[in-house]
Amino acid sequence: MDKGLQGVCMGERRRITMPPHLAYGQQGAGTEIPASAVLVFDIHVIDFHNPKDPVQVDVTFRPEVCNVTSEVNDIIQYHYNCTLMDGTLLFTSNDYSVPQDVQLGGDKVIDGLDEGLRGMCVGERRTIIIPPHLGHGETGAGSVPSSAVLHFELELVSIQKGVPEGYLFIWLDETPKDIFEAMDINQDKEVPPEEFSEFIKRQVAEGKGRLRPAREPDSVIGDMFKNQDRNADGRITAEELKLKAEEDEEKEQARHEEL
């Protein structure tokens, strides 16, 4: 069968006649295939793929102004239609009242779709073809048959720029030279939740920083404050305040010392 399937084209039909020594031999197989049987296969090639095949992307529409594109960690909304290569419809966002949403790079959709949704701007439309190893593989899933090549029509509706895994806030501009002094609005050497919240919201409003999306800003800022209020007394001091990068550096140093 392996030899008989070599050199086929998509959509091709062929008959393969297989002698016993290239099939089940003198022993046969079970009760269905007798000893020394010549087997005849009539095949129709629906589609095929190579395990090295990448996701194929075809941009069908791109707005003239496209200054922001989707990337890993962004939370996006998109419309989609998913079919097999013969046009059989599998899934569509038209079945829902709102567009689909996902955080790119969050392992929430198949790898090929996650990849195909990157680098898009709002309003862009594209079609992508996903090989099985970047889709649902040899096992399939639900209505998706095994080893299925998937065809998606996509339209990006919105982008919320994200932050890296493990971060609640990132700086988009240079960090203030003395960040604690900038936070300590009344200069009393301690920062309560109100001052901390006012400072972070100002950075976001001025485009100097970004909060983790898809959560209420006050909730994210509250978690940030708890992380910095290391003695849980409701106040942050200069000694307590540390940037995430500084914390990560200290943890890495401690890990090396343990080794």
Q: Please report which confidence band the pLDDT of residue 116 belongs to, taking 50, 70 and 90 as the band edges.
A: very high
Do residues 83 and 151 touch, judged by C-beta distance below 8 A?
A: yes
Shared domain check, 131 and 193 = no
Write the CB contacts of 114 (distance below 8 Å, at least 6 apart in sequence): 102, 104, 105, 107, 108
Asked which of 137, 160, 183 is the last residue of a domain, the reply is 160
Domain span including residue 35: 13-44
CATH of the domain at 198: 1.10.238.10
Percent of residues, the chain, with pLDDT higher than 90: 73
183 and 238 within one domain: yes
Band of the pLDDT at 255, cuts 50, 70, 90?
low
| 194 pLDDT above the threshold of 80 | yes
Note whether residue 50 is domain-resident. no
- Please give the average per-residue pLDDT across 226-233, as a whole number: 94
